[in-house]
Structure 1
Amino acid sequence: MAESAGPPATLVRRALEAAQRHRGRIATLERVGIVDFSKPSSTPRFHILDTATGRSSAILVAHGRGSDPEHSGWLERFSNVPRSQASSAGAYLTGDIYEGKHGHSRRLIGLDPGNSNAEARAIVIHAAAYVGDRIAREQGKIGRSEGCLAVSPGDIAHVLERLPAGFMIYADRT
């Protein structure tokens, strides 16, 4: 995980507006996760923004196969429909950690109409072997999830630690 230039100002603004709408549910805005799905999957696009300092780090994150049916590496569409295998846009509240088929994972609660089915769809943060720098270099893209925010096995512990339960993640494109 490297320091990044940060997420686009447009997404930061939208994330902070979402945080205001959902302020009763979010424990803190100390750090916010911002996923910039306007970038290709080969680019670190999951930013963890320290709101006090403005510093951020960015890592690779997969989008759903239903969002990129031809596997171009670019998110083409969002969906909140069950079994769509697509990524959803909007604000998420980070939930509890659990041990699942991908190891340590974190539940996500969709806060907006565009991701309100996140829990029912089992949209979570988890590690996946199909996400990594080597894959991005060799294939020009990383693998796709079923709508989850899948990160590399080397990044999952950092993400779970930096975005504990009660924090917010905002996913969208510019």
Structure 2
Amino acid sequence: MDRRNFTKFALSGFALTFMPDTMGKAALPTAPQPLPVPAMPRAAPLPPYAGLLARAKAALDRHAGAVLLRDRVAIADFDAPSKDLRFHVVDLMNGQSSSYLVAHGRGSDPAHSGWLQSFSNEPNSLASSSGAFRTGEMYVGQHGQAMRLAGLDPQNNNAEPRAIVLHGADYVGEDHIAAWGKCGRSEGCFAVAPHMLPHLLGLLGTGRLLYADKIGAG
């Protein structure tokens, strides 16, 4: 190599040592960056009556010949105290629900604790019964406007002779709860706030399922 070419090569190498860091780094391969992990959507919390809703759906299948309308069901969740909104009407088409106050029978809560203690199907027991009911015709009786109910299970098949119905009662409502801390008791009927009764009768109509139970019952 002659002196001219040697000098040119040496100067080129000398210049490379003064290249900016960014130029040197640009020539180096970079490690692939991990893609951000998308957040998993949170599942909607189950409603407190989810267990009873599953039982109600099973009852719809069990009593398919007796319950013709399957678009919505009513659930009386007697695990909850009477001061809570524990009567739920669930739309099975879209999952939406609305909730209301409902009383239980005095025979199911002799000490008037506000909690249902037991069920009975016996005449004159004044107790609430559990199981599947079919909503029946509307009529006007001693409680005013009301809806008849037919018991579909062995534990509530005396509902009609016992005159277990859905009706309004003054002892069910926010004012009564504010004064007493609980609703009053029925004689086994599903008693609701009088001002909510027309709305409930319209939602339920004739030929739908009303399911009453207590998951914690023995």
TM beyond 0.5: yes
Runs (4 or more) in structure 1 with deviation over 2 Å come to none
Question: Which residue matches 2:107?
Answer: 66
In 2, Cα distance between equivalents of 1:79 and 1:6: 27
In 2: Cα distance, 1:25 partner to 1:76 partner: 29
| Alignment correspondent of 2:126 | 85
Deviation at 1:141, TM superposition (A): 0.5
What residue ranges of structure 1 are gaps of 5+ in the alignment? none
Partner Cα distance (1:43, 1:125) in 2: 18
What is the aligned residue count?
Answer: 170
1:39 counterpart residue number: 80
Deviation at 1:53, TM superposition (A): 1.0
More helix as a share of residues: 2
Give the number of the structure whose alpha-carbon radius of gyration is greater. 2
After superposition, residues 14-163 of structure 1 pair within 5 angstroms as 14-163=55-204
Question: Is residue 6–residue 55 contact of structure 1 (8 Å, CA) maintained in 2?
Answer: no
User: TM-score by structure 1 length?
Assistant: 0.95
Q: Which residue pairs with 1:166 in the alignment?
A: 207
Query: In the TM superposition, what whole-angstrom CA distance separates every residue of 1:111-157 from its partner, at most 9, and x where no partner exists?
Result: 00110000010000000011001111221101000000000111100
Using the size of structure 2 for normalisation, the TM-score is: 0.76
Q: Deviations over 1:55-108 (max 9, x none)?
A: 111100000000000000000000000000000000000000010011110000
SS of the equivalent of 2:158 reads coil
> CA 1:24/1:13 → structure 2, altered by over 3 Å: closer, same or farther?
same
Structure 1 distance, partners of 2:144, 2:87, is: 20
Judge conservation of contact 1:61–1:151 (CA < 8 Å) in 2.
Answer: yes
SS of equivalent to 2:199: helix
- Counterpart of 1:8? 49
Q: Is this contact kept in 2: 1:6–1:56, CA < 8 A?
A: no
Gaps of 5+ in 2: 1-45
Measured after TM superposition, the shift of residue 12 of structure 1 is 0.6
Q: Which has the higher contact order (CA 8 A, sep 6+)?
A: 1
One-letter identity of the residue aligned with 2:143: H
